[in-house]
Amino acid sequence: MQIRGFSRRAGHFAGLVGASAVLVSMLVASGASASTAVKLYMIPKFTGIPPFTQAAQGARSMAKGFGYSLTYNGPSSASATQQVNFVNEAAGSGYKGIFISADDPATVTPALQRAEAHGVKVVSFDSDVLPAGRTIYVEGTSAQDIAYQQLVMLGSQIGYSGSFVILSAQATDTNQRTWNSILVQDLKKYPRFKNMKLLSIVNPPDDSAASAATYMRNIIARYPKMKGVIAPTTVAVAAAAQVLTQEHLCRKYVLTGLGDPLQMKPFVTHGCVKQFGLWSFSREGQVAMCAMHGVLTGALKGKPGESFSCGKLGKFTVGSRGTVSAGPMEVFTAHNLSAYTF
């Protein structure tokens, strides 16, 4: 789940710090400095891939304006057990807030609850924890929109008729499970999808590109007559595109899903992938930081109907189960991909 900084939104981002000046006046008045700033910790599912790096960059740009210090660190590969270690480290080292994209909610939530019991505030992003382990969850974009748009991206290329497979992330990923569940419901709910048939939801054992490529090859071997594949993870969609390219199958199967523009650009340029979507992870990180500020100052309790402002990004409202949507999803094609800088 990854996206580079969008040039179209650069102007929006630039005004965030200035617009938050009133919110941080108490920190300025107290003479807060880098050494005395409130410390926050951001834990991704794993490090080393663009989306989480971009989320951290967005959060850090807002942190400076609020007078916070942000540390970004986490497992080098997907591991909920290692995430627990990072939660414990943050809670025991004077950090007042933790951001986390959960690898496995059931595993990390107890550690987050222990941290909360010691006064640490928790905001989840990208992939939620159990509600008992955080105050607010900031999703990159609406789960309903992701599910529906993925079906439209595939359906529009196969005439809304034929079978397909979902190549997802590991089964413990909460966002993947949510999107896939809504997608299954949408197949039955909307008449335009009535002739599209989901053959299988495939969950590799981890979120690595190697596993995604292996499982993509297995899907092709098992379902040679399928029309296409939806991969709702940036790692899997790029790996699947590489497999189709190597096997010279780009014209036989349609591939779409959620991808990072920089990673997907070669496949779009060469015509292997016609459409894919994503949202701005930088924006998601910024909104998460605004939400954290509200939680830390006591303005937000995570109750539905609460609202907060995030500079020129606008006003955000807390929905059911303490969820906030950071913004819309963008659909990328060969026609608009060059409009974005990375």
**Domain extent listing, the chain:** 7-140+280-327, 143-278
- Residue range 95-118, pLDDT digits in tens: 999 999 999 999 999 999 999 999
Mean pLDDT along residues 208-225: 98
pLDDT number for residue 339: 67
Q: 7-140+280-327 with 143-278: one CATH topology?
A: yes
Question: pLDDT per residue over 269-280, tens digit each?
Answer: 999 999 999 999
H runs (alpha helix) in 118-258:
143-158, 174-189, 209-222, 234-246
Q: What is the assigned CATH class of domain 7-140+280-327?
A: alpha beta
Handedness of CA 130, 134, 138, 140 (dihedral sign): negative
How many Cβ atoms sit within 10 Å of the Cβ of residue 307?
Answer: 12
- Shortest CA distance to 175 belongs to which of 135, 125, 212? 125
Over residues 239-267, mean pLDDT: 96
Distance of CA 270 to the CA centre of its chain: 27
Q: What are phi and psi of 309, to 5 degrees?
A: -100, 150
User: DSSP secondary-structure letter at 133?
Assistant: G
Q: What pLDDT, on the 0 to 100 scale, is given for residue 140?
A: 92
Does domain 143-278 match CATH 3.40.1190.20? Answer: no
In which band, very low, low, confident or very high, does the pLDDT at 50 lie, cut at 50, 70 and 90? confident
Alpha carbon distance 295, 287 (integer Å): 12
pLDDT in tens, 292-314: 999 999 999 999 999 999 998 99
150-159 in b/e form (b: 16+ CB < 10 A) is bbbbbbebbe
